[in-house]
Chains A and B, each alone.
Chain A
Amino acid sequence: MNNSTPEDYSVLEQQLNRHRSSMPKETAFITILAGAMYADHRAHAAEMAELDALLNRVRMLQAMPAADRVARRDEVLPGVKDDKTRGDRVRIACASIVQAEKGGTGPNDPGMPNLAVSVFAHACDIIYDDLDVTELEKTFIREIAKHLSIPAVDAAKIVEIISKKNEY
């Protein structure tokens, strides 16, 4: 037991990865959008207002009563505001979105086609809103494209269209 070699830790890794964290798709959606807002480690009052407006109009959250949306947002914000936990929360959110897109094995969970691309485009829209795109924000976009399993070519096309839209 005390003589473990580094190679032995792969067994531990396997066990640690056996259970992946996940979150409900609505929470995951809000986490990624709020993560985009805080990607440059600051969020202005105007951006927060924009996040609230967006949460009120995106289709994914339409079925939720307004009070529930606010409660879910408040539950998510501390995790993405904190630089130490944001990356982890967003990574889990991306994995949850990918899972929701795939759906389950039963007929009641057929999946949600294009969900990952939709979330990615919304996140780009938030980041390119002020056209002041920092290196931290570019890193955030690269990371979520990877974690949402969006091919680089598709991600680049989305970034191009969204950035040009927001140019004027």
Chain B
Amino acid sequence: MTQEDSNAVDPLNAQLERRRSTVLSKERAFLTILAGAMYADDKARRAESVELEALIGRVKTLQTIADADRKKARDEAVEDVKEKTVRKDRVVLACNALLNLVEASAKTATDPDKFLAESAFAHACDIICTDHELVDAEKKFLRMLEEELKIARDRADLIFKTIALKNEY
């Protein structure tokens, strides 16, 4: 049963799905997804943590955060996703926030954020592939991300394959 089918027979579900959360800023949503990728297997390995640190320093979206505030922003995002019980919820919230931004920019901006979702997904792949080990929990996390960010399966596979090849050596 698709989401639409389920909504058709379940009015409560339809109402609950009517609004997406918009509380997260682009920067916070991006950081939450990256931190979520780092904790996808419930452990933050050193290589992944170093990669997250390096990404925070160079990812374009996060350049709007002042240097002094980056550590605080990272710590807050990490705190959000550390606990397995809330991780998925926080990451789904972050994905929704990014999708809302994509939709809003498509309506108003001359240069819409067309690739924002794919970019976040690719950065998450980069973090997960850093330690050269892909466990089931990480695969699941990426599939969840692909779904929540509404990236087509073949497109997500191509992004993952490219990033995995890069990290092979």
Q: Which residues of A contact B (CB under 8 A)?
A: 29, 50, 53, 56-60, 112, 114-115, 117-119, 121-122, 125, 129, 131, 157-158, 161-162, 164-168
Nearest-neighbor residue (CB-CB) of A118 within chain B: B169
Task: State the majority secondary structure of interface residues on A.
Answer: helix
Per-position binary interface string of chain B over residues 93-136, scored 1 when its CB falls under 8 Å from any chain A CB and 0 otherwise: 00000000000000000000101101110110010001010000
Q: Is B25 an interface residue (CB 8 A)?
A: no
User: Measured between C-beta atoms, what is the minimum distance from A30 to chain B in Å?
Assistant: 12
- Which residues of the other chain, B, contact A168 by a CB distance below 8 angstroms? 30, 59-61, 113, 115-116, 119-120
Q: How far is the CA of A51 from the CA of B153 in the complex (A)?
A: 33
Nearest-neighbor residue (CB-CB) of B30 within chain A: A168
Count of chain A to chain B residue pairs whose CB atoms are closer than 8 Å in the complex: 77
Which of A29, A114, A117, A161 lies at the interface centre, i.e. has the most chain B CB atoms within 10 A of its CB?
A: A161
- Which residues of the other chain, B, contact A121 by a CB distance below 8 angstroms? 162-163, 165-166
Residue from the list A50, A53, A60, A164 in contact with B115, Cβ < 8 A: A164
Q: Are A161 and B163 in contact (CB under 8 A)?
A: yes
Q: Which residues of B contact A (CB under 8 A)?
A: 30, 47, 50-51, 54, 58-61, 113, 115-116, 118-120, 122-123, 126, 130, 132, 158-159, 162-163, 165-169
Can you name 22 A-B pairs with beta carbons within 8 Å?
A: A29-B169, A53-B50, A53-B54, A114-B165, A114-B169, A115-B168, A117-B166, A121-B162, A121-B165, A121-B166, A125-B166, A157-B158, A158-B166, A162-B122, A164-B122, A165-B123, A166-B60, A167-B60, A167-B115, A168-B60, A168-B119, A168-B120
Q: Are B163 and A59 in contact (CB under 8 A)?
A: no
Residue from the list A59, A125, A161, A162 in contact with B168, Cβ < 8 A: A59
Q: Are A57 and B47 in contact (CB under 8 A)?
A: yes
Indicate whether A57 sits within 8 Å of B169 (C-beta atoms), given known contacts A164-B119, A165-B119, A168-B115: no
Indicate whether A60 sits within 8 Å of B169 (C-beta atoms), given known contacts A164-B119, A165-B119, A168-B59: yes
- Which residues of the other chain, B, contact A60 by a CB distance below 8 angstroms? 169
Q: Are B58 and A165 in contact (CB under 8 A)?
A: no
Q: Are A165 and B165 in contact (CB under 8 A)?
A: no
User: Measured between C-beta atoms, what is the minimum distance from B98 to chain A in Å?
Assistant: 9
Q: Are A57 and B51 in contact (CB under 8 A)?
A: yes
- Which residues of the other chain, A, contact B123 by a CB distance below 8 angstroms? 165
- Which residues of the other chain, B, contact A57 by a CB distance below 8 angstroms? 47, 50-51, 54, 130
User: Measured between C-beta atoms, what is the minimum distance from B50 to chain A in Å?
Assistant: 6
- Which residues of the other chain, A, contact B169 by a CB distance below 8 angstroms? 29, 58-60, 112, 114-115, 118-119
User: Measured between C-beta atoms, what is the minimum distance from B44 to chain A in Å?
Assistant: 15
